[in-house]
Amino acid sequence: MTTTIDGRKIARDIRSRTAGEVAAAVAAGRSVPGLATVLVGDDPASAVYVASKRRAIREAGMRDFHRTLPQQATQDEVAAVIDELAADPDVSGILLQLPLPAGLDSAALISRIPVSKDVDGLTTSSAGLLARGEYGLRPCTPSGVIELLDAEGVTIKGSHAVVVGRSELVGRPMAQLLLQRDATVTIAHRHTTDLAAVTRAADILVVAAGVPGLIGPEHVKPGATIIDVGIHRTPSGLTGDVRADELDGSAGRITPVPGGVGPMTIAMLMANTLRAAEWAQRSA
């Protein structure tokens, strides 16, 4: 029997819990948390992502400070907007939507975001705090995966967790978060020679390779928990990195695509914006 993990429901619970905490903080006289999304250029997928983040922020009772810059915006123009938001005490969190138009240096722009406003957890400082296990804002997708595992009652401590993918955005912070929760962690990547031999050892398998259908029954230990982070647009809809239909009956639990990890990313952005506001108030 394979259980499908309902990411939509778990994400809804986190969003309503966050909205409740925002309302309580405001009722107690604290200022309303606010998120600034920065969208540069006219990539249609980015525009859709930013619109749904802004909607979720407003639904959670937080302030929406959105900025749009044109496709031709220069490095200095984007930097000036980030610096202005960084200095604005009403802005709790700053999210620079990626990818940026060609010619802009995203790493240099991200580095201008103060660590206490880094709701995507992508600055070098946030990565350092995560690696050291110190207080900080964690990248939304991997922290959403931890929330999914906890909501499902999956035992992380002492388990063998395998993460497929080592990106700054997902794979590396995912491995760090699992390590912090006392899993034995293995990271696989494109140069791993026998992927199936590695993944078959996993009690928890998190797949963030960006390769459609990479993982099938030959990669999975019976009863394992499979978290599919991959998202691919196909003519017949969204699919992931895991051939979920082929694992029905052998995996213990599995996240669907869509409706698994995806909704968690936005929910964790809400939670991170509230956390950023609390951080600013603590250090004020």
Catalytic residues: 53, 97, 120
Q: How far is the CB of 190 from ligand NAD (least distance, A)?
A: 4
Task: For ligand NAD, give the closer residue by CB, 56 or 188.
Answer: 188
Integer CA distances (angstroms), 127 to 65, 120, 172, in order:
25, 11, 9
Backbone angles phi, psi at 130, to 5 degrees: -65, -45
Task: For ligand NAD, give the closer residue by CB, 136 or 165.
Answer: 165
User: Across 101-214, where does the E strand assignment appear?
Assistant: 160-164, 184-188, 204-207
Strand pairing partners for 186? 162
Q: How far is the CB of 54 from ligand NAD (least distance, A)?
A: 16
Distance CA 15, CA 229 (A): 20
The residue written with tokens 């009863």 in the block is 223
Strand pairing partners for 259? none
Q: How far is the CB of 174 from ligand NAD (least distance, A)?
A: 9
Close Cβ partners of 193 (under 8 Å, ≥ 6 residues apart):
none
Would you say the C-alpha torsion 28, 30, 32, 33 has a positive or negative sign? Answer: negative
Q: How far is the CB of 111 from ligand NAD (least distance, A)?
A: 19
Task: For ligand NAD, give the closer residue by CB, 113 or 206.
Answer: 206
Distance CA 191, CA 140 (A): 26
CB 254, CB 247: distance < 8 Å: yes
Integer CA distances (angstroms), 275 to 50, 154, 213, 272, in order:
20, 25, 35, 5
Task: For ligand NAD, give the closer residue by CB, 16 or 192.
Answer: 192
Task: For ligand NAD, give the closer residue by CB, 157 or 191.
Answer: 191
Q: How far is the CB of 170 from ligand NAD (least distance, A)?
A: 4
Q: By CB under 6 A, name the binding residues for ligand NAD.
A: 141, 164-167, 169-171, 188-190, 192, 195, 208-211, 214, 229-231, 261-262, 265
User: Which amino acid would we find at residue 86?
Assistant: A
Minimal CB distance to ligand NAD: which residue?
167
User: Which amino acid would we find at residue 62?
Assistant: M
Q: How far is the CB of 64 from ligand NAD (least distance, A)?
A: 20
**DSSP summary character for residue 242:** B
